[in-house]
Amino acid sequence: MKTKILKISTLLIVTSTLTGCEYAEYVESKAKKINNYERVALTLSKENRKLQADISKLEFEIQSLKSRNAYLELKLEEKNKKTQRTIASVAPVLPKNNEVKFDVYKWTPEQMLSTAEKEFEQKNFEKSAQFFHSMAHNYKNHKLINDKFYFQAGVAAYESGKHDDWTIYHMTKLIENYPTSQFYRGAKLWMAMTHLKQGHKEKFFNTVEEFRKKYKNTKEWDILKGHYEEIVQKYKQN
């Protein structure tokens, strides 16, 4: 309050000492300053509103990008789950010459494994592959299903000449679930041979490169190396 009174007193003293002309100039000067302040304030206000609009626009764009990113992550997750389900699930459909007929005989796991191994030893790979595969489908969590089971099942499927997808399935299960298994390198070898058979040369070469770096002094590498060199020669000729 004292400050306000002091300002008013000061203004009165100043105006009382001015002539009429000087007073008019003084008022005009003050008016110009006030008008200038108002223009600056108006300009700042407009700029502030523009900045606020730009900020709101950016916030909207950021939110849109977040929403799109979340959507894409969801779609990717769904695709990965679908792929995993495709790989993890055993195709229950057996060939037309179904030698298992599980729905009819209701084999026990022990009976199925015994038959699969017996037919494998006798090199009846089609029947062996069917019994192995059917057991993996009907008794997927049974204790008899282990790394040796998956390896024999994959080899039988490959040697049958008809079930490359079964070979990939069984060898993949072995590699994923038994990384320290004695059959681990063998599973990679049979998968590589299956990829080569299917014409998937890039997947085959990837496995060859892994063996060249990690398992060069193994019998699996000796087998893969021969096929690798043969393919390289074909490429050179073409």
Q: What is the pLDDT of residues 33-91, one digit of tens each?
A: 666 656 666 676 777 777 777 776 666 667 656 656 655 565 555 555 454 444 455 55
**Which of residues 209 and 50 earns the better pLDDT score?**
209
Residue 165 pLDDT exceeds 90: yes
What is the per-residue pLDDT for 90? 58
Number of residues written out for the chain: 238
**Element (DSSP H or E) covering residue 52:** helix 20-88
CATH annotation of 102-237: 1.25.40.10
Q: Which residues of 145-172 are buried (b: 16+ CB within 10 A; e: fewer)?
A: bebebbbbbbbbbbbbeebbebbbbbbb
Tokens in use for 72?
A: 């894409």
Q: Which of 120, 114, 197 is nearest to 161 (CA)?
A: 197
Please tell me the predicted confidence (pLDDT) of residue 46: 72
Summarised one tens digit per residue, pLDDT across range 115-156 is 999 999 999 999 999 999 999 999 989 999 999 999 999 999
What pLDDT, on a 0 to 100 scale, did the predictor assign at position 175? 96
Q: What is the mean pLDDT of the chain?
A: 78
Q: Quote the CA–CA distance of 166 and 91 in Å, as a whole number.
A: 8
- Are 208 and 224 spatial neighbours (Cβ–Cβ below 8 Å)? yes
Determine what percent of the chain is predicted with pLDDT higher than 70. 62
- Name, in order, each residue with C-beta under 8 angstroms of 19's C-beta and a sequence gap of 6 or more: none
**CA pair distance 27, 7, nearest whole angstrom:** 16
Please, how many CA atoms are within 13 Å of residue 81, restricted to the half-sphere of its CB?
A: 6
Helix, strand, or coil (residue 43) = helix
